[in-house]
Structure 1
Amino acid sequence: MIKHHPTPALLLAFTQGQLGASLSIAVSAHLEHCECCRHKVLALQETSAQYLDDDVELDEWVDNEMIAAITDDDYEIHPKQSMPLRVNLKGHEYTLPRALQSVGLSNWLKLGKLARAKVDLNEGEVHTNLLHIEKGGTIPLHSHKGFELTLLLAGEFKDEFDTYVPGDFIWLNDANTHSPSTENGCLCLTVANNSMHFVQGLSQVLNPIGKLIY
């Protein structure tokens, strides 16, 4: 069962078209998995006009400063109608969210049991990636210099906070430290505005090149 969802503020911004491309895609992809949030979005769509008529500003709804800082991007998403896009990684075929079908993907960059493909959105410091972790893979213990959103698309992983299933929408910031690992492999969509900071053992040698791998 999905336990981690976008905040009400983020869902409201989504319904009002106020999110940048990366977060709009991430929320859309979450909605493909989550019936609960789909109902919430429908309810917000029905009521948002009333709040706007009453001159209620979006900022009054926002309970997260980071959300407020990234909702001023006027990029609009116009998804194409097409068959689901599929990728094959390590013998596993994954169907990607419909929201990704209108954007480009880079070639995959492999780092041990990890592989990343950049999603071409041109949002400056905000980078969006597909992240594949192979069976038995672990990301060393790290914190985040900015925010990191992880949407689990397929498989499972766990960290110090929980065990996650497809559709979980996990928002972390510089106050969080964790080490994700997976027994059977997983595919995630990640959005971040700065690099990871490794905090333990030999992995710390990666910190000088952290900008290259977020």
Structure 2
Amino acid sequence: MRPRHHPHSDTILAYAAGSVEESFSLLIAAHAERCHTCGRAIAEAESLAGSILDALPPVAMRGNSFERLWESAEKQGETERSGCRLRTESDLPTVLTHLLPDGLSGIRWGSWVPGIHQYRLKDVQSGAGSVRLLRIGPGVVIPEHIHAGSELTLILSGNYSDQTGHFGPGDLADLDDSVRHRPVVDSGQPCICLVATDQPLRFSKVLNRMMQPLLGI
């Protein structure tokens, strides 16, 4: 199964330029391990950025340069489909193994709210936000919210759906402050995902907003 949801092109460019939060870099790198198209796009963007920096005098990038690189990456990805597949849903991306040496099965989950457990990656910088693993039970709904900044969510196992689509293993949701959503785990197994934000969430209901300081979100 190949990932169907990917980081936006401007997110790829920011990652290649080294201008995203450490937490976002972690999620993008983990996704790119399993998605050849994104891995190729990142490599091309890094190469282009290096060429521009090395050029004398400075050369401005054409407006459609990244679009052409992305099209090239997609074509290359079609010819190397196996590079964009998950080996199994439970496999952990290599870039996460130093943070989770015992894998997902070795995590000591902490209770968060009914139906949801969390594990915070406190050593990973994420601006004014946070980065954490969530294990969300079948049928559980995350309260409706928007984002004060950006949010990346990488699915490691299981599935969830929201207003932006259906997400499974390897998919990466790239959301900004224009998105209001209410994710729900719509499969018979828990959904384990890695979520990074650079600003606190903004919940729609007053009660949920009142609980935010206690929940650390």
In the superposition, the TM-score normalised over structure 1's length comes to 0.71
CA distance in 2, matches of 1:122, 1:2: 26
Larger displacement relative to structure 2 (19-28 or 190-199): 190-199
Match of 2:172 in 1: 169
Does 2:147 match 1:147?
A: no
Matching residue of 2:183: 180
| Offset from partner CA, 1:148-206 (integer Å, 9 cap, x none) | 21111221110122111222221223322111111232111111123333325xxx412
- Amino acid in the other structure paired with 1:132: R
Contact 1:2–1:34 (Cα < 8 Å) also in 2: yes
* CA deviation profile, 1:113-149 (whole Å, cap 9, x unmatched): 1111111214441311111111221112222233221
1:198 aligned partner: 203
- The correspondence for 2:137, drawn from 134, 137, 150, is 134
Give the equivalent residue in structure 2 for 1:208.
210
**Equivalent position SS for 1:31:** helix
- How far apart in 2 are the matches of 1:98 and 1:7? 22
**Equivalent residue pairs, number:** 180
Q: 2:99 aligns with which of 95, 100, 103?
A: 103
**1:17–1:177: structure 2 CA closer, same or farther, 3 Å change rule?**
closer
* Matched position secondary structure for 1:47: helix
Structure 2's unaligned 5+ residue stretches are 67-88, 102-106
| Residue type at the aligned position of 1:198 | F
Residue of structure 2 in register with 1:67 after alignment = none
Of the three residues 105, 117, 120, the one matched with 1:118 is 120
Change in 2 beyond 3 A, CA 1:169/1:205: same
Q: Deviation of residue 57 (structure 1)?
A: 7.5
Q: Aligned letter for 2:96?
A: L
Instruction: Name the structure with the higher strand share.
Output: 1
Query: For the structure 1 residues 162 and 21, does the alpha-carbon distance in structure 2 shift closer, same or farther, using more than 3 Å as the test?
Result: same
Correspondence for 2:7? 6
Counterpart residue identity of residue 162, structure 2: D
Cα deviation digits, residues 49-91 of structure 1 (max 9, x gap): 2121233579x99x9xxxxxxxxxxxxxxxxxxxxxxxxxxxx
Choose which of 160, 181, 200 in structure 2 pairs with 1:157. Answer: 160
Gaps of 5+ in 1: 64-92
Whichever residue aligns with residue 161 of structure 2, its letter is K
**C-alpha distance in 2 between matches for 1:9 and 1:57:** 16
Aligned partner of 2:39: which letter?
R
- Over residues 24-47 of structure 1, what are the superposed CA-to-partner deviations in whole Å (9 max), with x where a residue is unaligned? 101111112211111212323333
| AA aligned opposite 2:194 | L
Percent of aligned positions that are identical: 28
> Which structure's residues are more often helix, by fraction?
2
Task: Give the aligned partner of residue 83 of structure 2.
Answer: none
Q: How far apart are the structure 2 equivalents of 1:206 and 1:126?
A: 17
The C-alpha deviation readout for 1:1-45, integer Å capped at 9, x for no partner, is: 533212233223333434331111011111122111112123233
Residue 207 of structure 1: how far off its partner (Å): 0.9
Secondary structure at the residue paired with 2:211?
helix
How far apart, in 2, do the equivalents of 1:196 and 1:50 lie?
38
